[in-house]
């Protein structure tokens, strides 16, 4: 008896959990990846002391820099290694997310 | 919450059905109604980040952060305090914003026990708290009885490997040392917290001594036969502090047979006696005591976890991050704890929402200062390969870098500190 009720209400309960969680979606891939950049580039990528801000750059600037760092064409102290293992798709996601942060 | 949903919950609640059904699904009543409850133990580099990012990623999840200290002193930056380059206030932070701006309930208390069956955490102050997910980031504790005659709590030989009062003690000993005195720094055999930090400490103390007590010496009695960024450190020591720092690897001193605190002396298995006016033994380490007491560590003294979620492989719904966990190729650093805090936060939110875990590349970088104007760095990327956090690339500052680049990296080190502590506390 108990079981039957539980089963018949189960879809409702699932809906309940899902709708509660509409406020709790979790991060996008871009936000998740970009959270690691903030460790140096500061909150909202506003920069910190001599580490440059990123939030005032255009999508294409960030993309070009990251690809430049990755290939070694753009000189750097540390970004060469940080950019190295991101795919082109992930670089685009990162660039779009970071460029959209408030200036 | 919409009216319908509230009514629905009330109806279910009234009939007592929600509770029984939700328990079959592994959800508690409040979990389904108002979001899951997460408790984070330890407000350091891993814990603050995990707590804050769970709130960012999932505002309906209730997060409690338990940390005994009202002021947290960071280990990063503490070597600059020991060398009298920065005041203690530079490395002090508080938890006000985590409560006020992120809605984390911060309890300044100490967890005394964890019951993983009933999912209850008991505090020293007597409080009892239920959780759906528990995260531990308790840092390190010191193994006892590893060196005869040495006790990590003896303030004669401050370790300064947890920042705060210990940092102040070591700084004061350095400041009151005579010109011509010897400082001994003794790092343990790996793994230990912050692999390059003993050598940064030696460098910055050398900076202080060369300006203030130039006849003094530093001896590093290492528990290892090589060390992090070794070529870069040795090159810089030759240039900036010629003849001041002697490094002795364990194959040459053979390990310590005894420590004679009253004589400020270390006796090695090779039969040598090393005397120092200041003796800084960095004790062998293991996971934070609460993790060990809760049965979360294995024989190594560190906690095994699933690499994609940091959930303990020993106990369900308990995650261990930061220095206490075994994170594959990732070393025990604040930057690693930060990355682990975010991965764990995203994994817990994914578990609450039933979404898949994201697989990304992540990075750990560590700056070290050799002088206030001479910085070097090491940076590594990791990916999940064969269910293990695997280093896929790494690089250090170039041995050929110019003075200007070293100066820039010292400035970047300060920027990193500012950013990572804002990520934690602001
Ligand atoms: C000299 C030195 C220099 C360093 N420099 C760097 C650097 O430049 N870059 C870098 O990335 N890393 C550096 N590190 C390493 C870094 O400090 C650690 O890796 C980092 O603190 C680990 O974070 P954690 O969260 O695991 O532990 P911690 O930051 O130590 O936090 C643990 C917290 O848990 C609390 N706690 C413990 N037990 C309980 C309990 N039972 N109940 C409640 N709370 C509890 C403690 O009070 C503490 O605040 C350095 C370390 C040292 C010693």
pLDDT of residue B31: 41
- Write the class of the CATH domain B16-68+109-141+285-360: alpha beta
- pTM score of the predicted model: 0.92
Q: Ligand 1 — pocket residues by CB below 6 A?
A: B 41-47, 66-69, 72, 75-76, 78-79, 110-111, 137-139, 161, 193-194, 197, 201, 288, 290, 322-324, 332-335, 337, 366-367
Q: What is the pLDDT of residues B84-139, one digit of tens each?
A: 999 999 999 999 999 999 999 999 999 999 999 999 999 999 999 999 999 999 99
pLDDT surpassing 90 at residue B194: yes
- Would you list which residues of chain A are within 8 Å, Cβ to Cβ, of chain B? 2, 5-6, 9-10, 12-13, 16-21, 23-27, 29, 32-33, 35-36, 38-43, 47-51, 77-78, 80-82, 84-86, 90
Q: What is chain B's alpha carbon radius of gyration, rounded to the nearest angstrom?
A: 23
CA dihedral B152, B153, B158, B159 (to 10 degrees): 40
Q: What is the pLDDT of residues B300-342, one digit of tens each?
A: 999 999 999 999 999 999 999 999 999 999 999 999 999 999 9
pLDDT surpassing 60 at residue B8: no
Q: Who's near B248: CB < 8 A, 6+ residues apart?
A: B219, B220, B221, B222
Distance CA A8, CA B377 (A): 59
Contact status, residue B310 vs residue B299, Cβ threshold 8 Å: no
- What sign does the CA torsion over A26, B391, A91, B51 have? positive
Q: Total structural domains in chain A?
A: 1
- What sign does the CA torsion over B71, B74, B77, B78 have? positive
Give the nearest chain A residue to B376 (CA atoms): A77
In chain B, domain spans: 16-68+109-141+285-360, 146-281
B359-to-A30, A67, A70, A82, B56 alpha-carbon distances in Å: 12, 21, 20, 17, 19
Are B381 and A26 in contact (CB < 8 Å)?
no
**Residues constituting chain B:** 426
Sheet containing B111-115: order of strands = B111-115, B120-123, B128-130
pLDDT surpassing 60 at residue A64: yes
Distance CA B174, CA B177 (A): 5
Closest CA to B77 of B173, B175, B164: B164
Distance CA A62, CA A41 (A): 13
Residue to probe by mutation, ligand 1, list B131, B158, B197, most atoms within 8 Å of CB:
B197
- Residue with CA nearest ligand 1 atom 11: B334
* Domain extent for A74: 2-99
3-state secondary structure of B247: strand
User: What is B146-281's CATH superfamily?
Assistant: FAD/NAD(P)-binding domain (3.50.50.60)
At A18, is the pLDDT very low, low, confident or very high (cuts 50, 70, 90)? very low
* CATH label of the domain that carries residue A33: 1.10.760.10
Selecting from B8, B360, B419 the residue whose C-beta is nearest the C-beta of A42 gives: B419
Question: What separation in Å is there between the alpha carbon of B139 and the centre of ligand 1?
Answer: 5
Contact status, residue B287 vs residue B303, Cβ threshold 8 Å: yes
């Amino acid at each position: 008896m108990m079981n039957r009720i539980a089963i018949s209400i189960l879809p409702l309960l699932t809906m309940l959990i899902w709708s509660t969680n509409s406020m709790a979606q979790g991060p996008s891939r871009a936000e998740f990846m970009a959270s690691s950049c903030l460790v140096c580039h500061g909150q909202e990528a506003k920069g910190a002391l001599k580490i440059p801000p990123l939030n005032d750059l255009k999508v294409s600037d960030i993309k070009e820099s990251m690809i430049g760092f990755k290939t070694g064409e753009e000189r750097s102290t540390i970004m060469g290694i940080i950019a190295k293992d991101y795919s082109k798709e992930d670089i685009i996601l990162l660039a779009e997310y970071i460029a959209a942060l408030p200036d | 919450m919409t009216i319908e949903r509230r009514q629905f919950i009330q109806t279910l609640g009234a009939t007592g059905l929600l509770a029984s059904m939700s328990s079959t699904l592994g959800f508690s009543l409040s979990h389904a109604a108002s979001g899951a409850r997460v408790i984070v133990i330890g407000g350091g580099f891993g814990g603050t980040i995990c707590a804050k990012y769970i709130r960012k990623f999932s505002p309906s999840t209730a997060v409690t952060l338990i940390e005994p200290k009202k002021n947290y002193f960071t280990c990063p930056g503490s070597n600059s305090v020991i060398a009298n380059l920065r005041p203690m206030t530079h490395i002090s932070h508080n938890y006000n914003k985590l409560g006020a701006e992120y809605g984390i309930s911060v309890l300044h208390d100490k967890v005394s026990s964890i019951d993983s069956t009933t999912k209850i955490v008991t505090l020293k102050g007597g409080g009892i708290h239920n959780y759906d997910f528990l995260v531990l980031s308790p840092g390190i504790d010191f193994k006892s009885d590893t060196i005869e005659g040495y006790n990590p709590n003896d303030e004669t030989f401050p370790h300064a490997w947890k920042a705060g009062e210990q940092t102040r003690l070591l700084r004061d000993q350095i400041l009151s040392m005579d010109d011509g005195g010897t400082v001994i720094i003794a790092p343990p055999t790996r793994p230990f917290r912050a692999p390059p930090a003993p050598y940064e400490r030696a460098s910055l103390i050398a900076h202080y001594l060369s300006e203030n007590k130039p006849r003094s010496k530093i001896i590093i009695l290492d528990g290892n036969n090589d060390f992090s960024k070794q070529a870069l450190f040795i090159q810089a020591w030759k240039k900036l502090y010629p003849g001041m720092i002697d490094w002795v690897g364990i194959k040459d001193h053979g390990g310590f047979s005894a420590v004679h605190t009253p004589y400020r002396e270390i006796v090695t298995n090779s039969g040598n006696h090393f005397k120092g006016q200041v003796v800084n033994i960095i004790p062998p380490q293991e996971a934070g005591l609460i993790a060990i007491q809760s049965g979360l560590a294995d024989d190594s003294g560190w906690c095994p976890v699933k690499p994609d979620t940091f959930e303990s492989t020993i106990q369900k719904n308990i995650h261990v991050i930061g220095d206490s966990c075994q994170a594959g190729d990732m070393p025990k650093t604040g930057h690693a704890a930060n990355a682990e805090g975010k991965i764990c936060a995203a994994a817990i939110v994914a578990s609450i929402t039933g979404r898949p875990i994201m697989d990304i590349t992540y990075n750990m970088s560590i700056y070290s200062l050799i002088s206030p104007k001479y910085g070097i760095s090491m940076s590594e990327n990791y990916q999940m390969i064969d269910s293990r956090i695997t280093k896929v690339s790494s690089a250090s500052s170039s041995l050929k870098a110019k003075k200007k680049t070293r100066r820039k990296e010292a400035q970047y080190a300060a920027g990193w500190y500012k950013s990572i502590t804002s990520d934690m506390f602001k």
